[in-house]
Structure 1
Amino acid sequence: MNTTTDTSSRIALITGGSRGLGRSSALALAAQGIDLILTYQRQEADAQAVVAQAQALGRRAVALQLDVGEASRFPAFAEQVRQALRATWQRTHFDALVNNAGMGVHASFEATTEQQFDELARVHLKGPFFLTQALLPLLADGGRIVNVSSGLARFSFPGYAAYAVMKGGVEVLTRYLARELGPRGIAVNTLAPGAIATDFGGGAVRDDAALNAQLAAATAMGRVGQPDDIGAAVAALLAEGNRWMTGQRIEVSGGMML
């Protein structure tokens, strides 16, 4: 472990950083010169591969296990973050939080179960709310928060009612955090991806050619998104010169359903 003190590098904490949009965001930030704390739920090997890629780019990075659906663990996780900051950076604060981790449920409104609804709420709404609360003492004044929502909070596709309801809640949470954390100089924004070709939701957008073509036809730029489209947008939101934007919803969908 490199123990040289470095107070100049910025540090971003990304939940769900082992794959998909979280992985692309982590590597885009590393390429921008930002150090990383990633979380993973089960895929430790994938998370460590992202750490190695970030280190190859000259950045420091660590991976910590976290289930964002288990709010009772957040105080202990915050202590792990505190220890990682001390051991790896000799610092007490990080600079940006990206609430990205999530999972999907595809079910019609009529068929959605209470168990599915509650699981989505734990992961997508309660998780970001109370994880952000637990990490606030470690987030530097003048820092940033990006909450990942979805284009489905604006446009509607059958089968995503419960998921979209949670993301609508995340967008309201963003505005309240922006208002309440403004006195600390912390900017808080929502990033809302459109249809992205990842393994999310079983990989349907990536693997189902007919669905992919349908979504591409409904998109101004004529294709579905790729993970790196979102990673680049997260890096842009967290860029040094983007300090004056807060409380905003930025949709990164290539112009879906305009």
Structure 2
Amino acid sequence: MSTKSKIALVTGGSRGLGRAMVLSLAKNGNNIIFTYHSNKEEADNVIAEIISLGQKAVAYPLDVSKLTTFDHFIHQISQHLTEHEGNPNFDFLINNAGTGVYGSVTDTTEEAFDAMVNIHFKGVYFLTQKLLPLLRNGGRIVNISSGLTRVSFPNVSAYAAVKGAIETYTRCLAKELGSRQITANTVAPGAIATDFGGGANKTDETKRNTIAGITALGRVGEPEDIGGVVAFLCTPEAGWLNGQRIELSGGMMV
């Protein structure tokens, strides 16, 4: 493996979209640091897959809603990078970790609302803030949003609202980090067949058929449809793409 490999940090990289992202990044020749919530066995399996692709990989547990743990996490990755790469810096930050919550506007509890804010917005905001000193000039930030910021469905208001906040935040990041030649973009997946939010997009045939019927390409998305685009955003060819929202939905409700 070339010592010139760049390093990508992906939150929530052990399953679903995150797993597809880290594998696509590794196939492009990047070394990987990723986080997982609690399932170490899943994380270890992904590490083995990355190593089989000829790249280095390490994973750390992290709950992105618990800001008090960020300093310890950053100490861990700084120590690891200094020991194995000679300095604590990395090249690409992909803020992917997340969960879903469903409930009508009238039924959503404050607890559920706060969870969405902490995981998808506050956590992303302050983890990025703490990682910026380690992100190399010329690096990339990719924040994961949702197709639900463009089209509206019932029972997703809290989740969709915080994803809307992430898109606004990302444009501000692009402006503020331009002097460091760091780009910041948002990827907004449509309906994808993963375990996210209970896994209905993977297992509920009625829902899958409905999604296919409102999607120009006539099917539900797969994690691989997302991973490759995130990896592309971390290539030299994508260097002029900045401050943008890229929807990956197969043409849902166009």
TM-score, normalization: structure 2? 0.98
State whether structure 2 residue 158 is matched by structure 1 residue 162: yes
How far apart, CA to CA, are the structure 1 residues paired with 2:236 and 2:6? 10
Q: Could you tell me which residue of structure 2 aligns to residue 64 of structure 1?
A: 60
- In structure 2, the residue matched to 1:51 is 47
CA drift at 1:256: 0.7
Give the match for residue 244 of structure 2.
248
Kindly state the Cα deviation for residue 92 of structure 1 after the two structures are TM-superposed. 2.2
Instruction: Report matched runs for 1:127-206 at 5 Å.
Output: 127-206=123-202
Partner of 1:96: 92
Shift of 1:5: 9.3
Q: CA deviation at 1:87?
A: 2.2
Name the structure 2 match of 1:210. 206
Task: Look up the SS of the partner of 1:37 in the other structure.
Answer: strand
Shift of 1:101: 0.1
Match of 1:224 in 2: 220
Please say if 1:112 is aligned against 2:108: yes
1:86 corresponding residue in structure 2: 82
1:19-38 mapped onto 2 (5 Å cutoff):
19-38=15-34
What is the total number of aligned residue pairs between the two structures?
254
Q: Partner amino acid for 2:30?
A: I
Return the letter of the residue paired with 2:29.
G
> 1:239 is aligned with what amino acid?
T
Give me the CA root mean square deviation. Answer: 1.1
- What is the percent sequence identity of the aligned residues? 52
CA contact (8 A) 1:197 1:224 kept: yes
1:71-102: per-residue Cα shift (whole Å, max 9, x none)?
11112211111011112222321000000000
Q: Which runs of 5+ in 1 are unaligned?
A: none
The TM-score normalised by the length of structure 1 is 0.97
**Moved runs in structure 1, 4+ residues, more than 3 A?**
none
Greater mean deviation of Cα atoms: 229-238 or 94-103: 229-238
Kept in 2, the 8 Å contact 1:5–1:90? The answer is no
